[in-house]
Structure 1
């Protein structure tokens, strides 16, 4: 038998108010209805699942919620009298049909789900993009029927020509809007008569991205760089550590501990997909480890100092700190690049591109897949194609060199 109960969602909106929702549970699976009402958390009685009397509109809100629950129960009884068993989602669909939920109400729920899944960086980035969309609209209200092709084309033009973002960045905004729209269609059955995406409408197609890494000579300039400040030296060592291990992501480099190095090998679990990785220590890594060995006190100490004092188990706080550290590292790397005469953009992420650029077509693609820690070899082929130029260069040479 299914149950229906009101509850207060844990993710507040931009005003710090929490949404009142209704949970439908059947066979230990839940689906949710959005009431459109928000209150401060102090006004919610979690024991009795209702708004406290201390709220100035408690009677009206409780009556509204009670009415919705009563309507839901009536339709639930009708659905359970049918011969076929139905899931919580199907029962929900029968109860509400098409909901009047707006785009930004759906976006709050979407962002809340990101937090539940501990996608903190993604949550931060998507929340900022939605704030920019609100600013463009000049409103925090938007119905799905008003979210049409014309509006999205105007928004894209605003991003490209007023905010001066790159084409790929503009597409990321549209992709977020489509993701939230599809989320609301699937979970809350919103009115999608004017669905603006698809053939003949708004198409989500990313332009090819340019990936340029350093060459051997430029990496050697970093390895032999002199007259650097301590902060710049640490930034270079962090970059080189990433490069020497085939482009380990900055979040993983910053969390490397002495205990991760056993018998001249690195053992670590990737933060992105939790894969366990083991790689032999290149000789050049030993020089970096020697540089920091004097400050080592315990085997669980971090190699680099950036995250000292940060609770590594607090994933949200950790993600915020890593974002700030990465930004500071990139600033210092830009200064170093200018000092040593590297004209290409230099950032922590470029360490991965640099490994790809130097490896080119010299290493079998299956081995590169292991080094990059890709789940699919197709991902490796697509990534490495940015750096494999020998065949096209030879073909061009044969034609024009006469």
Structure 2
């Protein structure tokens, strides 16, 4: 994208600028759409910001070194085009108008933004950004909404964001319940829909006053599930199992490593390389959230790593566990499909291991995570730190306590696993 200039359609200038008169908490400056008409200006936030060092003043766009350059450039293009078109349309009416009138004209248009059209945009954008998990989750939500609209004999293509009232959401909830969805699954649908709605607000596609989640609370769902944690005695029973196949042995080791390793989930297990293991500590960035975790490894965890080193190689970039293969699983889709396949195999194998160990719990990869949290609780880690985090209320609390695993209290607790 070359140097941008104010769109001069209809004698009104429309341009996104770095608004240096305001500095945000992180030191960045907001990107503002500036509408200029008859020497008067109106500024509108586009919901993005940029550090000064990443902004090219001459070209009026993010520099090449900006980590999110392409997305922000596209956002700028969309905003400038939308408001320039509104200004041009007003000029053709041959009546006086102002910068404020241009903003009001766009506000009238965005009230008619269709939900399914925007959802498709979000799915496409996440796919381009290789956020395939998020794209898949939103695609599943799209399917559920589509089924609901058709069940109500409505035309899905006409659904507006302003139609998503608290009453609409409650009807959707009843529809999902009638289909037999558990409340924990319904909560996922509504959290995803809330995420989409928040993005629509951020992009000024719907006014915040229409936001339905102030009244429709996701906290209404009962997120309690059947018992998922197992005791330290059960963990010991699994560790003591003699298994007959390499596949069962891998399932056993992955489950135990997740327990010993702060409840690390399967996707992150699959992506671990030897460079994540340094000085007796495991440091990695969670695929789902981008949070950096750093904690010491227990002796049993080290023993599992040592077992696989001869098979996977010792290079820093070699995978720790034999789940993914360099040169075979290369593209994001190949990696996603491989992990999905191996996760299914592992959960099937864990059921066999549970029978062998006489554990009366449906053993899954998540049980290791839950059992880890319970062990920490029994080890004396403050309930305020972990009880809510692993009680399935929100994941953000889980991330918060895992992010501080370097502190001495947590390190001591690892010795009690």
Q: Which bracket does the TM-score occupy, shorter chain normalised?
A: 0.5 to 0.7
Q: Does 1:136 align with 2:136?
A: no
Alignment of 1:177-326 (within 5 A): 177-190=193-206, 196-199=212-215, 202-205=216-219, 206-210=221-225, 212-299=228-315, 300-309=317-326, 314-326=331-343
Alignment of 1:314-393 (within 5 A): 314-365=331-382, 380=401
In structure 2, the CA distance between the partners of 1:25 and 1:241, relative to structure 1 (3 Å rule), is: farther
- Unpaired runs of at least 5, structure 1: 6-23, 32-65, 382-402
Q: Would the aligned equivalents of 2:141 and 2:193 in 1 still touch at CA under 8 Å?
A: no
Q: What is the CA–CA distance in structure 2 between the aligned matches of 1:249 and 1:67, rounded to whole Å?
A: 42
Post-superposition offset of 1:219 = 0.5
Q: What is the CA–CA distance in structure 2 between the aligned matches of 1:129 and 1:141, rounded to whole Å?
A: 15
Instruction: From 95, 101, 105, give the equivalent of 2:106.
Output: 95
In structure 2, the CA distance between the partners of 1:170 and 1:67, relative to structure 1 (3 Å rule), is: closer
Q: Does 1:73 align with 2:84?
A: no
Relative to the length of structure 2, the TM-score reads: 0.63
What residue in structure 2 maps to residue 125 of structure 1?
137
In structure 2, the CA distance between the partners of 1:133 and 1:367, relative to structure 1 (3 Å rule), is: closer
- Unpaired runs of at least 5, structure 2: 19-30, 34-80, 390-394, 403-417
Instruction: From 18, 26, 30, give the equivalent of 2:16.
Output: 26
Q: What secondary structure, in the 3-state scheme, does the structure 1 residue paired with 2:156 have? A: coil
Q: What is the CA–CA distance in structure 1 between the aligned matches of 2:82 and 2:310, rounded to whole Å?
A: 69
In structure 2, the CA distance between the partners of 1:142 and 1:336, relative to structure 1 (3 Å rule), is: farther
In structure 2, the CA distance between the partners of 1:108 and 1:340, relative to structure 1 (3 Å rule), is: same
Q: What is the CA–CA distance in structure 2 between the aligned matches of 1:233 and 1:67, rounded to whole Å?
A: 58
Post-superposition offset of 1:238 = 0.9
Q: What secondary structure, in the 3-state scheme, does the structure 2 residue paired with 1:158 have? A: helix
Relative to the length of structure 1, the TM-score reads: 0.65
**Which deviations, in whole Å up to 9, do the C-alpha atoms of 1:111-149 show, x marking residues without a partner?**
334345543212201211211220222243232254445
Q: Would the aligned equivalents of 1:168 and 1:207 in 2 still touch at CA under 8 Å?
A: yes
Q: Would the aligned equivalents of 1:76 and 1:91 in 2 still touch at CA under 8 Å?
A: no
Post-superposition offset of 1:328 = 2.4
**Which deviations, in whole Å up to 9, do the C-alpha atoms of 1:92-121 show, x marking residues without a partner?**
554352432222112122333434554321
Q: Would the aligned equivalents of 1:365 and 1:380 in 2 still touch at CA under 8 Å?
A: no
Post-superposition offset of 1:180 = 3.1
Q: What is the CA–CA distance in structure 2 between the aligned matches of 1:203 and 1:155, rounded to whole Å?
A: 13
Q: What secondary structure, in the 3-state scheme, does the structure 2 residue paired with 1:141 have? A: helix
Q: What secondary structure, in the 3-state scheme, does the structure 2 residue paired with 1:268 have? A: strand
What residue in structure 2 maps to residue 386 of structure 1?
none
Deviates more, 1:182-191 or 1:252-261: 182-191
Give me the CA root mean square deviation: 4.2
What residue in structure 1 maps to residue 22 of structure 2?
none
**Which deviations, in whole Å up to 9, do the C-alpha atoms of 1:298-333 show, x marking residues without a partner?**
413222111114677744543443333223211211
Q: What secondary structure, in the 3-state scheme, does the structure 1 residue paired with 2:172 have? A: helix
Q: What is the CA–CA distance in structure 2 between the aligned matches of 1:4 and 1:236, rounded to whole Å?
A: 66
Q: What is the CA–CA distance in structure 2 between the aligned matches of 1:157 and 1:148, rounded to whole Å?
A: 14
**Which deviations, in whole Å up to 9, do the C-alpha atoms of 1:35-69 show, x marking residues without a partner?**
xxxxxxxxxxxxxxxxxxxxxxxxxxxxxxx9996
